[in-house]
Structure 1
Amino acid sequence: MEVVMKRLIYRPWLVSAALLLFLAVGTPSRAEDQSARLAEIPKAMLGFVENRQISGAVTLVAKDGRVAQLEAVGLADVEGNRPMQKDSMFCIASMTKPVTATALMILEDEGRLALSDPVSRYIPAFEKVKLDGKPPARPITLFDLVTHTSGLGGSQQNQGTLAETVDALAERPLQFEPGTKWQYSPGVTVCGRVVEVVAGMPFEEFLAERIFRPLGMKDTTFRPTPEQAKRVATLYQPGKDGQSIQRAEHWLNEISEDRSPNPSGGLFSTAADLARFYQMILNGGELDGQRILSDATVREMTRVRTGDLTTGFTPGNGWGLGWCIVREPQGVTAMLSPGTFGHGGAFGTQGWVDPQRKMIFVLMIQRTGFGNSDGADIRGMFQQLAVDALCQ
């Protein structure tokens, strides 16, 4: 009887142990489920490769300070059959602008300039800017430049040195009174020159000394070395037959030792480097013990500073200091939280930070002639798959 009772007592424990073993073996863990979902991202990118919309892509997703996914698919160079790699470099075009804005705000943090300062305080050529042949109602300020409300118009292409380029911009007629409208402009280029003047060193040296080296961004530069150039992805455009892609040429992605730094769009970088920059911003200006900006300054940069002005490039956005801010998620931003900030580049590269979810999205492609890259299906699909994988 005693033996029987012991068996009756222990059987429930055996059943429970068997059930736990079954659950451990038979049910995917949360991490395994997330990995499976994240694996859908490179599959989707391969679909765009097969449809001849891109040659290849690098995608990176980070959450809670950790890189959850970094994958490369397709080719960096079709003609040379060079595979896309996780450390492939890309011309990030206008994704350079938040970096330039960060440089400006480092100096503001240090009390060496103020956003309310007139640009002419640092660049005398701006004393002579004209609107319809007359001086504007008020001077252009640094705030106007970094929020695209200055009234400056024209190409963002360099015209000689950075100093020469900015002086030439001051000679162009303004498009509207400063502060009254939003219009994407080369104003951030002027910010880069202001950084040079105030810091007393070339713009690219300031970026390297105060941002890139402290953050370990070893592959972010205006002038890729010969070794780095071997990793730069080729730019492609739609083929004439409408069924293929072909190599494209553009002044922005030219690699030359003689090229002047373009603060509005001249940087080359990698997904991993950009993720470190974005993580620093998400952390409130610090990464791995290196403080780049104060927390208060980061908050000022990443909130809407353009009021009710209509801004680009997709509906529902506002503008911060160098950053596009998702005010009302919709369309290609529907899966992002209000307050998400980031920037795109002319060749399809995208980088966005969702502070509510503590997520970073980096999409690296190189294409032109496919329409508004900020509103592209490839961006929307990438972001949606990342959110689905990590936020369920």
Structure 2
Amino acid sequence: MRNALFVLALFAAAAFTQTAGLNADRLKLIRPRLQELVENQSIPGAVALVARHGKVATLEAAGWRDVEARKPMTTDSIFQIMSMTKNFTGVGIMMLVEEGRLELRRPVSDYLPEFRNQMIEERLPNGNTALHPPAQPPTVAQLMSHTSGLAGDPDGELADNPRTLRVPLAEAVRFYGRQHLQFEPGTRWRYSNMGIAALGRIIEVVTGEDYVHFIESRLLTPLGMKDTFFFPPDAKKDRIALVYKHSAGKLVRSGDEILAGDSAKYRAGAKYPAPEFGLYSTAPDLFNFYEMLLEGGTYKDHRYLSHQSIDTMTRVFTPDVSPSGWLGGTGYGLTFEIVNRPEGTLLLHSPGTFGHGGAFGTEGWIDPHNDLIRISMVQLSDGTGSHPRSVIMQIGESAVQ
């Protein structure tokens, strides 16, 4: 009887996959490919999710969330999704825009006085530097599109804060506001964690709410993202995948040198929520968020954003600024990277696909043309997490029928 039920379940899963317009045989390749990467120590473990037409077609786990303790990776393992957090901060900003509480084109200094009178630091041919005011101050939209002129990460007295998380958001952003701009706002693209952190502080100033509470109450809780958070609760810690790197051909656990510090310390004592990289999440939770975006701002009959706001966020904001994006063939919208011209690792993506990755190898892409979502979850701090991403993204796209 048990065998008969198991066979029936397999037939049902295959039938759904076919009705979703995905090739079931192709999707079955994902887990063995990931297992190969585990066995040759390319990755400690991974979780993969592919969904179409609002339904998860495949959800697979391979390898280990804790290599030393031999704790297996499971489909509900929790990952530090790092810069994928930027999308949540961006959606929070757009919610406030729709409520008439802030404007994208207004100067950042209208909301954060510490950003008044910023100067551009220009390096002269003789090696000296000179300061001069920008033609126009940076705007909220330029923070979202990484064209504000702000540098990437803090230096000086707060250089260690992305690792220690010791300084609260308001204090950190006051420091960021005193930093010189690197170029005329709107003329170049430079990925800026400080800029996204400033957006998190704008949310606090405009709403009077703590940033973490705002994201939890307006997005995470209503979307049913029960395993998504900034600071790990004790009950969730055992499911968190630890972060690894390669050393002498083997996987070893990363330590305090990485963003947010040693993953096995679970951010103990942290005060900084990191609107630019602070979230933990799971593949199933991220599916809920991405499905909301794919459905034009609606999930389970609840509207979070208008279709117009999603369109605004997910089209290239500065088409005249090049390059603008991490990967070849992409441009940058308002906290999202968008595929303009499929090439390289994005070769099988449809134009208009949008998404984001994280520093430890997590990645998610939403393809409106094919109504397709692909999520890849891995934890590697040395920049080698592209292998599972390529497997999941390429097989997922090629499975479309």
Confirm or deny a common fold (TM above 0.5).
Answer: yes
Counterpart of 1:350 in structure 2 is: 363
User: Does 2:276 match 1:270?
Assistant: no
How far, CA to CA, are the matches of 2:309 and 2:383 in structure 1?
A: 36
How far, CA to CA, are the matches of 2:75 and 2:16 in structure 1?
A: 25
Q: Deviations over 1:343-362 (max 9, x none)?
A: 00000000100000000010
User: Does 2:386 match 1:384?
Assistant: no
User: Does 2:226 match 1:228?
Assistant: no
Q: How does 1:88-237 map to 2 (within 5 A)?
A: 88-132=77-121, 133-155=131-153, 157=162, 160-186=167-193, 187-237=195-245
List structure 1 runs of 4+ shifted beyond 4 angstroms.
Answer: 28-33
How far, CA to CA, are the matches of 1:368 and 1:296 in structure 2?
A: 36
User: Does 2:317 match 1:311?
Assistant: no
How far, CA to CA, are the matches of 2:57 and 2:170 in structure 1?
A: 42
Counterpart of 1:337 in structure 2 is: 350
Partner AA of 2:176 in structure 1 = L
Determine helix, strand or coil for the equivalent of 2:239.
coil
CA contact (8 A) 1:128 1:170 kept: no
Counterpart of 1:66 in structure 2 is: 55
1:31 CA displacement = 4.3
CA contact (8 A) 2:316 2:332 kept: yes
How far, CA to CA, are the matches of 2:387 and 2:397 in structure 1?
A: 15
Q: How does 1:75-90 map to 2 (within 5 A)?
A: 75-90=64-79
User: Does 2:41 match 1:55?
Assistant: no
Which structure would you say has the larger Rg?
1
1:36 CA displacement = 2.7
Counterpart of 1:13 in structure 2 is: none
Q: Structure 1's 29 and 108: CA in aligned 2 closer, same or farther, altered over 3 A?
A: closer
CA contact (8 A) 1:159 1:168 kept: no
Structure 2 unaligned segments of length 5 or more: list them.
Answer: 1-10, 122-130, 155-161
Determine helix, strand or coil for the equivalent of 2:105.
coil
The percent identity for this pair of structures is 43
Q: Structure 1's 30 and 59: CA in aligned 2 closer, same or farther, altered over 3 A?
A: closer
Q: How does 1:278-293 map to 2 (within 5 A)?
A: 278-293=290-305
Q: Structure 1's 377 and 56: CA in aligned 2 closer, same or farther, altered over 3 A?
A: closer
1:379 CA displacement = 1.5
CA contact (8 A) 1:317 1:324 kept: yes
TM-score, scaled relative to structure 1: 0.88
CA contact (8 A) 1:282 1:353 kept: yes
How far, CA to CA, are the matches of 1:212 and 1:95 in structure 2?
A: 14
How far, CA to CA, are the matches of 1:31 and 1:293 in structure 2?
A: 29
How far, CA to CA, are the matches of 2:228 and 2:173 in structure 1?
A: 23
Q: Tell me the number of residue pairs that the alignment of Structure 1 and Structure 2 aligns.
A: 360
CA contact (8 A) 1:223 1:259 kept: no
Determine helix, strand or coil for the equivalent of 1:238.
strand
Partner AA of 1:333 in structure 2 = L
How far, CA to CA, are the matches of 2:345 and 2:152 in structure 1?
A: 28
Counterpart of 1:299 in structure 2 is: 311
How big is the alpha-carbon RMSD for the aligned residues of Structure 1 and Structure 2? 1.7
How far, CA to CA, are the matches of 1:143 and 1:380 in structure 2?
A: 31
1:386 CA displacement = 1.2
How far, CA to CA, are the matches of 2:253 and 2:166 in structure 1?
A: 25
